Amino acid sequence: MTRLRSVWVPGLPHLFHPERSNAWKKLNESMTALGEEIQAWNPDLIVLYSSQWISVLGTSYQAQPRPKGVHVDENWHEWGDLAFDFPVDGKLSEAIMKETEAAGYPARTVNYEGFPIDTGTIVALQFLDPKGKVPVSLVSSWVYANSHSANALGAAARRAVDKSNQKTLVVACSLLTTRYFTEEINPGEDRVSSEIDDQWNQRILGYFETGALAEIAKLAESFTKETVTDMQFNAFHWLNGFWGETPVQGRVAAYGPLWGTGAAVAELIPKGD
Amino acid sequence: MSSANHKGSIVAGFLAPHPPHLVYAENPPQNRVKSEGGWEPLRWAYEHCRESMERLKPEVILVHSPHWTTIVGHHFAAVPELSGLSVDPIFPHLFQYEYSMKVDTELARLCYEEATSVGLNAKLMTNPKFRVDYGTIVSLHLLNPKWDIPVLPISANNSPYCTSLEVGQDQMVRLGEATRKAIERRGVRAVLAASNTLSHLHFSKEPDPPEDMSQEHVQSSAQYRWDMRVIELLRQGKIDELRAVLPQFMTETFAEVKSGALMWMLSALGFPKTPAKLHGYGTVIGTGNAVMEWNVNEEAV
């Protein structure tokens, strides 16, 4: 039985408004279907890296037992409240933090009432575990990470997950390109704002489909240089580090725009599973 | 509050950096975390600001914070009262602050009108559950710990980062002009707070405890020299020269002023050639922080 599974998902509140745009609807439906598959798969744990949880003093790992509350998005605050309530696996967060430090990178756990949970985490969990049943370990996006260190951080997470020996869903919550439209748009006419970004995204996703992570890693520098990627594409490097030498196969369920950005719903699982 | 028939004015502007360490070190009752002090020179600098606030008696404080980042346009908080717990996502162990602030929603509406009239994208933030960012709170607390003056939080539009520096700074100039007109229409005595650090490269490791001042120093000599150059230009009122070097300063020191608050404030003040008053300079985890004041309208006091 498969013990590890990973997904690449976007985390913008637009996904909760499928009625406004066919493109958003397509992504919403794919996220919903993926969430149903994950719930049927019934993981013991979720490890979620969010490009929208920015940390500065190294990587942060959430350890508050049960974050609960209401978050209002900084930009799309008029679209309502984002409620969240989910369990956290503090032991796993602690274990990943220790593996991170052992690898020579700064890390800390955070366990504070009222700690702000980011939009990406809330949106992703709402689709993947809407009932808030599965304990989660949240991973921040370290602002000073590069491809090498993000890869090492993913590998650190893998070591901790392997030691936990539990059925684990790994989530990379990130956009591909992030060239947002900076003005109000008609959501029905949303598109990836740059043709170059669009071409690059599709090229990257072609390799996702075949699980060719090494090929993506080779292209990542050019991708980041020629487009505007989400947090230097570090979610990918982290995910690539997580899988390490494990051969994977991929599936791209959907690709489309979210306010000009490039968003994909994709999956990577060990080859043969 | 003054009548809308009376023309309002900006009575002062402050460069009001927002390291949460300064609130942590002060140990106010609102912050759940307690310290043994630290960063006194910067906190003493803010004491001068507080004295000015007492003297100036503003009716509203407008604050532009880089930690309320918006993608689509410039946003103005327009909820009469905002309250809650604000935990800093970067330094949660230092800043867990229970805030409560009254917002001048009418001024927010006028700022929105003026901003849109000069072609800026703008939006009113009307969600009462909105969590106010720590940058806004820290600057406001340090200027007015009594919280007895209405405020207007303004977001930092992401344009300097997602378009170009030139486009972004141009937007802040227009936002400043729109803000000034809105204040005049509102008929209030206003103070502006630009919630920005200068050089922003910092250490990624904290001492234990964080307030161990034996470990506090500037991140690099180059960064220090840049900060002194910028401060000196502001002290001499050489605003045109400042504007010419700002892009290089932002690039070489990762300066937080790139997010626009300083440019917004200087624009609203009419790019004053009068010298700014330096109340103090200090580093916080290596970043350069200057607390400065512009009294451009003393006769209104």
Q: Which two tokens stand for residue B113?
A: 């009108």
Q: Which two tokens stand for residue A10?
A: 């976007």
Q: Nearest-CA distance from B2 to chain A in Å? A: 30
**What integer pLDDT is reported at residue B194 of this predicted model?**
98
At the top level of CATH, the class of B9-300 is: alpha beta
% chain B with pLDDT above 70: 96
Nearest by CB to residue B205, choosing from A77, A106, A181, is A106
Q: Which two tokens stand for residue A267?
A: 């999956």
- In whole angstroms, give the CA distance from residue A28 to residue A15: 5
Once rounded to an integer, what is the mean pLDDT over residues B28-37?
98
Asked if A74's CB is within 8 angstroms of B129's CB, the reply is no
Range of the domain at A57: 4-270
Query: Looking at this predicted complex, what is its ipTM?
Result: 0.92
Task: Say which amino acid occupies A138.
Answer: L
Q: Which two tokens stand for residue A127?
A: 């689709």
Nearest by CB to residue B127, choosing from A53, A77, A180, is A77
Q: Nearest-CA distance from A99 to chain B in Å? A: 18
Q: Does B204 contact chain A (CB < 8 Å)?
A: yes
User: CB within 8 A of A135, min separation 6: which ones?
Assistant: A44, A45, A46, A87, A88, A89, A92
Instruction: Show the CA angle centred on residue A233, arms to residues A50 and A131, nearest 5°.
Output: 25
Nearest by CB to residue A184, choosing from B93, B121, B125, is B121
Are B201 and B256 in contact by the 8 Å Cβ rule? The answer is no
Give the total number of structural domains in chain A.
Answer: 1
% chain A with pLDDT above 90: 97
Mean pLDDT of the residues in chain A: 96
pTM for this structure? 0.94
CA nearest A254: which of A7, A82, A46? A7
Domain containing residue A245: CATH number: 3.40.830.10
**What integer pLDDT is reported at residue B166 of this predicted model?**
80
Are B134 and B86 in contact by the 8 Å Cβ rule? The answer is yes
Give the helix ranges, DSSP H, for B91-236. 105-117, 134-143, 159-162, 165-186, 221-235
Tens digit of pLDDT for each residue in A38-52? 999 999 999 999 999
Are A240 and A216 in contact by the 8 Å Cβ rule? The answer is yes
Phi, psi torsion values for B228, nearest 5 degrees = -65, -40
Tens digit of pLDDT for each residue in A201-240? 999 999 999 999 999 999 999 999 999 999 999 999 999 9
**What integer pLDDT is reported at residue A170 of this predicted model?**
98
Q: Which sign does the torsion angle of CA B190, B195, B197, B198 carry? A: negative
Are A7 and A127 in contact by the 8 Å Cβ rule? The answer is no
Is there a cis peptide before residue B209, judged by omega within 30 degrees of 0? yes
Of the pLDDT bands very low, low, confident and very high (cuts 50, 70, 90), residue B301 is very low
Residues 141-170 of A with CB under 8 A from B: 144
Q: Which residue of B has its CA nearest to A77?
A: B127
pLDDT beyond 90 at A188: yes
Asked if A113's CB is within 8 angstroms of B85's CB, the reply is yes
Are A234 and A147 in contact by the 8 Å Cβ rule? The answer is yes
Would you mind telling me the total number of residues written for chain B in this entry?
301
User: CB within 8 A of A178, min separation 6: which ones?
Assistant: A228, A229, A230, A261, B162
Tell me the sheet residues that pair with A88: A136
- In whole angstroms, give the CA distance from residue B128 to residue B234: 38
| B256 vs A199 pLDDT, higher one | A199
**What integer pLDDT is reported at residue B205 of this predicted model?**
85
Tens digit of pLDDT for each residue in A116-160? 999 999 999 999 999 999 999 999 999 999 999 999 999 999 999
Tell me the helix, strand and coil percentages in chain A, rounded to 5.
45, 25, 30
State the best of A52, A74, A229, A231 to mutate against chain B, taking most chain B CBs within 10 Å. Answer: A74
State the best of B68, B90, B256 to mutate against chain A, taking most chain A CBs within 10 Å. Answer: B90
